[in-house]
Structure 1
Amino acid sequence: MRPFFLTLISALVLFAQKPEPAAVLKMAAKPASPEFQKNLEASFTPQQLEKGEASLAVGPDSLYAIKAAKPPQLFVDDQPAGAMKKAGAYYIGTAKIAPYTSHTYHYMIDGKRFGGRFDVIAFGPEAYEQAGVPQGKLSEKFTSNSKIYEGMASEYWVYVPAQYNAATPAPVMIWQDGQNYANRAANNRVLIQIDNLVHQKRIPAAIHIFIAPGKVGAKAMRSILYDTYTDKYSHYLLEEILAEVSSKWNLRKDGYSRAIAGESSGAICAFNAAWWRPEEFTRVYSRIGSYTSIQWKPGELDGGNIYPFAIRKMPKRNIRAFLSDGSEDIENNHGSWPLQNIQMANSLKLREYDFRFVFGTGAHSTAQGHAEIPIALPWIWRGYDPAKTSEEFVMDPAEKEKPYFRVKALNRN
């Protein structure tokens, strides 16, 4: 019996180390209580509490904690968030934050800015399990051995909605960096959100393919696959991945019924597939896209940095695209992620593409993208009609009336 009790005790200790965020938020109503302080310390590392980087959120309810000798001033999205309360050696603050996006916070101590983060996620209700919603099924892990990328092995998973009927071909959505989503318990809550959106009939019951970037031996191929301005990856998807998946599930073969998504380099990869093969991929979801010069080799190979100009100068493609980024995204020798995403949006607008651009305050983080799924997926799938195999995407008339995106020097004199 001893091993059983040891296992039980270990499980209880593990549970005590990571209390449910909702429970911690509820206990925050009594910050002086020893129970709350114990759970606060179990929720964060000492370093997070000391550096002012301890926060959590459940839907629109958020909590911030810091170990400080005197009361700090909390700012959420650069706005004062009210007085903080004493909780033993800590100060805590709470705030209501808008759902479907990410938020920033920081503290002011002795007139100086301190701590904070750019990636507090405010999920909408679609990100939480709901009664009566059937769950899709995640497949086993498959391995694809490529001939197009000679010697490359890639892992992928297939998520099949509960509403899938093998007698009827299903639409398809492909996600790059798919290893991050093939886990229902992951904090991105992608699978939960897909189930809820399908159940609410806000998106079609598509089969989702989550592909991890491949390797040739020990060589990681991610940037070569994702950041290169060629049509090679689209051939890989069509001739290898989709061919394999369609041998097991009944898939639609029209580009009207295919969407493709990714973040960072995976986002430019998604746009790449639609750009080169718009008859095969028409719906794009791009998050913190790396439309920069990562794979640019001057005089030899174009990189994703040319996209804003290619869109303006080359023939218009039949693509619908949802793009999102944040003002604190990367700035390095490859380029400026925020400025390139703004350039992408303005180029798409200039050529009257059917696009939407959401620009938040986040860094190079997945937070905003995870939160906005209930906005982005219904937008790219809007109007989907299974009786159709094509549609000419046109710019929303409301977008035509809006100005171009402009940049102001907000953090400099």
Structure 2
Amino acid sequence: MHKPLLLALCLSLPAAAQNFSGPAPQGPPLTADSLQNPGVPTGTLSDKLSLTSRTYDGMTSNYWIYVPAQYDPKTPAAVMVFNDGGGYIDRKGNHPALNVIDNLIAQHKIPVMIAVFTDPGDISGAPGTPTYKFVDAYSKKWSRTLKDSMRSTEYDTVSDRYARFLRDELLPAVSAKYNLRKDAYSHAITGMSSGGITSLNAAWQLPDEFSRVISWIGSFTAIQWNEDPNVPDGGQDYPEKVLREPHRNIRVWLQDGSNDQENNRYGSWPLANIRMANALKLKSYDFHFSFGLGPHSPVEGAAEFPEEMIWLWRDYDPAHTEQTYAQDPAEATRPPFRVSIANREAH
């Protein structure tokens, strides 16, 4: 009798990542660029702010604004949006983005930027609205909380709605206080899981607003598929969207791991990200795919976050407002990501 089999990514992995025996690792440690280092100027994190959304029919959304020490109100600053933002703002946490921003700005490896950390919204205060009715029905159908269902409605839906919320409501609220660059060349967005797919989706839907994307453990799976009859595509359709739709001028870093299996109701997170990486490669996008052993958690993405940021903002010139991104010639010569068969009994 044949032994059961498992598909596993083999190309471009370190040798250790091809060994499926033993438990999933805890994740690599944070490097010095992720730590608060003596002598590095620190910026200012605002108190928690909130706005009431028109795009989402009265949803309340909380956010924080981080202003680096080098910010000069006379000079427009670049902008980066962090989805699920409250999880990034603890300097002693497991993904301390504020330290990375401070260190890399001080090293002149990324531009001076305003960081906007936005949390998923709360629709509970707007009963009876179309958004509330949709979110409430979704929560009951899938036995999820109203708060979690609002997050999925914002992040997992394949449409321009969340991107418009950022463009038309959140960023204008920030620009009312700070001098922001308006060009997509200077706008980046990141997030993990559902926040990862919505980062790619925001740039895909509005490439004139966001051109730089980091997606950790992105949920390119069938979470909001067919929930809205006016939005037939789901996250699992994104590889085909990349292959078939017109090329967007965006730069994308994808991160995932072989032990990322969050919920088999919607599909396989690792295989979805492999498909996304191949679609981006075959369409000649400026992309990077980092694939390790990690589970559905931020541990691996956080450990490489300084590297991701340097890659994402490489060759940035504040004198410019646009750039045509091109796939690295070294990547263009490499074959697509492939899978081989591994014995499930040795996982």
TM range (shorter): 0.7 to 0.9
Which digits, 9 at most, give the CA deviation of each residue in 1:213-247, with x for residues without a partner?
00101732100000001001111001100010000
| Structure of larger gyration radius | 1
Aligned mate of 2:235, from 304, 314, 319: 304
The question of 1:328 aligning with 2:259 is answered: yes
Deviation at 1:120, TM superposition (A): 2.6
TM-score, scaled to structure 2: 0.84
1:197 aligned partner, one-letter code = L
Deviation at 1:105, TM superposition (A): 9.1
Which digits, 9 at most, give the CA deviation of each residue in 1:369-392, with x for residues without a partner?
110111100111111111111111
* Matches of 1:337 and 1:181, distance apart in 2: 22
Aligned mate of 1:351, from 259, 262, 283: 283
Aligned mate of 2:44, from 137, 152, 160: 137
* Matches of 2:343 and 2:47, distance apart in 1: 48
What SS class does the counterpart of residue 172 from structure 1 fall into? Answer: strand
RMSD: 1.8
1:211 aligned partner, one-letter code = T
The question of 1:181 aligning with 2:88 is answered: yes
The question of 1:234 aligning with 2:166 is answered: no
Residues 199 and 223 of structure 1, relative CA distance in 2, 3 Å threshold: same
2:267 aligned partner, one-letter code = G
Q: Which residue of 2 aligns with 1:163?
A: 70
2:205 aligned partner, one-letter code = W
The question of 1:340 aligning with 2:272 is answered: yes
Aligned mate of 2:187, from 245, 255, 258: 258
Q: Which residue of 2 aligns with 1:374?
A: 306
What SS class does the counterpart of residue 108 from structure 2 fall into? Answer: coil
1:224 aligned partner, one-letter code = T
CA contact (8 A) 1:151 1:217 kept: no
The question of 1:209 aligning with 2:138 is answered: no
CA contact (8 A) 1:119 1:365 kept: no
TM-score, scaled to structure 1: 0.71
Deviation at 1:117, TM superposition (A): 4.2
1:303 aligned partner, one-letter code = G
* Matches of 1:185 and 1:256, distance apart in 2: 31
* Matches of 1:119 and 1:296, distance apart in 2: 32
CA contact (8 A) 1:264 1:288 kept: yes
2:249 aligned partner, one-letter code = N
CA contact (8 A) 2:24 2:259 kept: no
| Structure 2 residues without counterparts, runs of 5 or longer | 1-15, 126-145
Greater fraction of residues in strand? 1
CA contact (8 A) 2:155 2:198 kept: yes
- List structure 1 runs of 4+ shifted beyond 6 angstroms: 76-79
2:164 aligned partner, one-letter code = H
Identity in percent: 48
Deviation at 1:126, TM superposition (A): 0.8
1:334 aligned partner, one-letter code = Y
Aligned mate of 2:223, from 289, 294, 301: 294
Q: Which residue of 2 aligns with 1:284?
A: 213
Q: Which residue of 2 aligns with 1:126?
A: 33
2:197 aligned partner, one-letter code = I
* Matches of 2:219 and 2:228, distance apart in 1: 20
CA contact (8 A) 1:158 1:207 kept: yes
What SS class does the counterpart of residue 344 from structure 2 fall into? Answer: coil
What SS class does the counterpart of residue 101 from structure 2 fall into? Answer: helix
1:295 aligned partner, one-letter code = Q
Which digits, 9 at most, give the CA deviation of each residue in 1:236-272, with x for residues without a partner?
0011000100000110011100000010000000011
Which digits, 9 at most, give the CA deviation of each residue in 1:69-114, with x for residues without a partner?
xxxxxxx8688xxxxxxxxxxxxxxxxxxxxxxxx995xxxxxxxx
Which digits, 9 at most, give the CA deviation of each residue in 1:39-85, with x for residues without a partner?
xxxxxxxxxxxxxxxxxxxxxxxxxxxxxxxxxxxxx8688xxxxxx
Deviation at 1:359, TM superposition (A): 0.5
CA contact (8 A) 2:89 2:96 kept: no
CA contact (8 A) 2:44 2:68 kept: yes
Deviation at 1:299, TM superposition (A): 8.5
* Matches of 1:105 and 1:138, distance apart in 2: 43
* Matches of 1:392 and 1:192, distance apart in 2: 30
* Matches of 1:119 and 1:367, distance apart in 2: 7
Residues 124 and 185 of structure 1, relative CA distance in 2, 3 Å threshold: closer
* Matches of 1:309 and 1:353, distance apart in 2: 14
Q: Which residue of 2 aligns with 1:37?
A: none
Residues 299 and 127 of structure 1, relative CA distance in 2, 3 Å threshold: closer
Q: Higher RCO, 1 or 2 (CA under 8 Å, sep at least 6)?
A: 2
* Matches of 1:129 and 1:333, distance apart in 2: 40
Paired residues, number: 305
Residues 246 and 403 of structure 1, relative CA distance in 2, 3 Å threshold: same
Deviation at 1:412, TM superposition (A): 2.6
* Matches of 1:209 and 1:403, distance apart in 2: 37
Q: Which residue of 2 aligns with 1:223?
A: 152
